[in-house]
């Protein structure tokens, strides 16, 4: 009777250039204790310069290599069908001048977007009318409304993105983090199909 081994593939991992990708790097293994240490240390792929920055480890490749080494095992796969391996290249630290220029550009862009939105909805006229309704006086700049509104706008943005520099207010992810996560998942899914060596072999046949 074949001995079952359960392998749960990870969605994606990050490795250094020229690293050896072992089974324990791309998946979790459970089953017979005598097989587990050997399986976890089994090398699936050696990263080379030709791999550039992405390698796809297909579950079919894992099954092939496990059965070739341990034909008596029955492999049960759980989780994703591919693991996308991102090869982290050594990058230079960006200069403070470049960071400052990008920060100023984003700040000006955000300020222009907010001002154009307020102009489109006639925010100043609304605040002037609100002041008139509450006080019976007409003024051009009702500062007692505009100043708290501006402060509240900034505080609202901070609470919305759930960050103050590196500080997080709670464990809930911000909308930006959710969008980045969804983008990364879509990217990994695309790469898993387009850069999959097993899929390419099927196309070439």
> Rounded to an integer, what distance in angstroms lies between the CA atom of residue 39 and that of residue 22?
9
> Rounded to an integer, what distance in angstroms lies between the CA atom of residue 79 and that of residue 7?
8
pLDDT at 169: 73
pLDDT at 101: 94
- CB proximity list for 186: less than 8 A, separation 6 or greater: none
Q: Is the pLDDT of residue 106 over 80?
A: yes
Residue 115 tokens read as 């001002």
C-beta separation of 110 from 74 below 8 A: no
Q: What pTM does this model have? A: 0.66
> Rounded to an integer, what distance in angstroms lies between the CA atom of residue 130 and that of residue 198?
66
pLDDT at 149: 92
Q: Kindly indicate the confidence band of residue 198, based on its pLDDT and cuts at 50, 70 and 90.
A: low
Nearest to 88 by CA among 175, 31, 16: 16
φ and ψ at residue 88, rounded to 5 degrees: -80, 110
Residue spans of the domains in the chain: they are 5-87, 96-188
Class of domain 5-87: mainly beta
pLDDT at 165: 67
Map residue 203 onto helix, strand or coil: helix
E strand intervals along the chain? 3-9, 12-15, 20-22, 27-31, 43-46, 54-58, 73-78, 82-87, 163-164, 167-168
Residue 112 tokens read as 């222009």
pLDDT at 168: 76
42-77 pLDDT, tens per residue? 999 999 888 888 889 988 888 888 888 888 888 888
124-137 pLDDT, tens per residue? 899 999 999 999 88
> Rounded to an integer, what distance in angstroms lies between the CA atom of residue 145 and that of residue 133?
13
**Mean pLDDT estimate for the chain:** 85
Of 165 and 139, the structure prediction assigns the larger pLDDT to 139
Please name the residue ranges forming H helices in 70-142: 96-120, 123-135
What would the mean pLDDT of 12-32 be, rounded to a whole number? 89
C-beta separation of 85 from 12 below 8 A: yes
Q: Is the pLDDT of residue 148 over 90?
A: yes
Percentage helix, strand, coil for the chain under 3-state DSSP, each rounded to 5: 55, 20, 25
Q: Kindly indicate the confidence band of residue 171, based on its pLDDT and cuts at 50, 70 and 90.
A: confident
Q: Are strands 3-9 and 73-78 parallel, antiparallel or unpaired?
A: parallel
Q: Is the pLDDT of residue 17 over 60?
A: yes
Least-confidence region, from 1-10, 15-24, 145-154: 1-10
Q: Is the pLDDT of residue 18 over 90?
A: no
């Amino acid at each position: 009777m074949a001995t079952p081994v359960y392998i749960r593939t990870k969605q994606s991992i990050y490795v250094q250039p020229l690293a050896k990708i072992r089974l324990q790097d791309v998946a979790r293994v459970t089953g017979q204790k005598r097989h587990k240490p050997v399986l976890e240390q089994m090398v699936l792929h050696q990263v080379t310069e030709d791999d550039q920055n992405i390698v796809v480890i297909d579950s079919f490749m894992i099954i092939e290599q496990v059965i070739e080494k341990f034909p008596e095992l029955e492999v049960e796969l759980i989780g994703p069908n591919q693991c996308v391996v991102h090869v982290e290249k050594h990058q230079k630290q960006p200069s403070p001048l470049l960071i400052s220029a990008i920060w100023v550009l984003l700040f000006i862009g955000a300020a222009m977007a907010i001002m154009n939105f307020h102009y489109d909805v006639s925010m100043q006229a609304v605040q002037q009318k609100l002041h008139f309704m509450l006080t019976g006086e007409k003024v051009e700049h009702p500062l007692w409304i505009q100043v708290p509104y501006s402060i509240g706008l900034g505080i609202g943005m901070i609470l919305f993105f759930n960050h103050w520099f590196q500080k997080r207010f709670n464990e809930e992810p911000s909308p930006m983090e959710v969008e980045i996560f969804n983008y990364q998942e879509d990217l990994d899914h695309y790469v898993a199909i387009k850069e999959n060596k097993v899929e390419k072999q099927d196309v070439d046949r």
